[in-house]
Amino acid sequence: MRVTKAQAQANREHIVETASVLFRERGFDGVGVADLMAAAGFTHGGFYKHFGSKADLMTEASANSLSRSLASAEALDVQGFIDVYVSRAHRDDRSSGCTMAALCGDAARQPDALKAAFADGIERTLQTLGSKYPAAPDAPPGDARVKMIDMLAHAVGAIILSRACPEDSSLADEILEVCHARITASLTVQSET
């Protein structure tokens, strides 16, 4: 039975979404093509009808999940973003959480096309948050961007460090609490000046 172009596109989108979840949950090296296709409900052989390689899928799935994360960030102000991002709920929800926190370490060892997808997602996140940041009127040019880079790196790092601890670890919670408080304080100081 022949698959229509619309059904083929829907199948591809389903594979990308399934990959996005599995990659965030297990890392790029923790998911094989056969396991991924089985999780998506397809045969292993069908993979190459949709993608040239696993690296191609990794790039597309990452771009897809980075865009979805950005859509979530667009609905929040900067403090709201920090409240949601630097939290135990986000820390514990690896498969649907932020792609940066789940896969930046893996992306650093991947081809340039994947790194470019991450760079684009990071840049778009910085621009989105920066557009919502109430920088002081007398702040030097570029100050808001510097603040957003610091805030995003701090938030992503907090999730990564917290996830590296055992789930029932008091240190995992302490990292989140300290980082959340420090990021919030740094944002408050800036907006008050």
- How far is 116 from 122, CA to CA, in rounded Å? 10
Residue ranges and CATH numbers for the domains of the chain are 5-192 (1.10.357.10)
pLDDT of residue 55: 95
Provide the whole-model pTM.
Answer: 0.89
Rounded to the nearest integer, the mean pLDDT of the chain is 92
Record the tokens describing residue 101, joined without a space: 């926190």
Q: Where are the beta strands (DSSP E) in 29-186?
A: none
Q: Which residue has the higher pLDDT, 136 or 130?
A: 130
Reported as a single tens digit per residue, the pLDDT across 12-64 is 999 999 999 999 999 999 999 999 999 999 998 889 989 999 999 999 999 99
- How far is 33 from 190, CA to CA, in rounded Å? 47
Confirm if 100 and 156 have CB atoms less than 8 A apart.
Answer: yes
Is the pLDDT at 1 greater than 70, yes or no? no
Residue 193 — very low, low, confident or very high, per pLDDT cuts 50/70/90? Answer: very low
> Which residues, including other chains, have CB under 8 Å from residue 97's CB and lie 6 or more apart?
24, 90, 91, 159
Lowest mean pLDDT among 33-42, 82-91, 120-129, 139-148: 139-148
The DSSP string of 97-117 is S-HHHHHHHHHTTS-HHHHHH
Is the pLDDT at 95 greater than 60, yes or no? yes
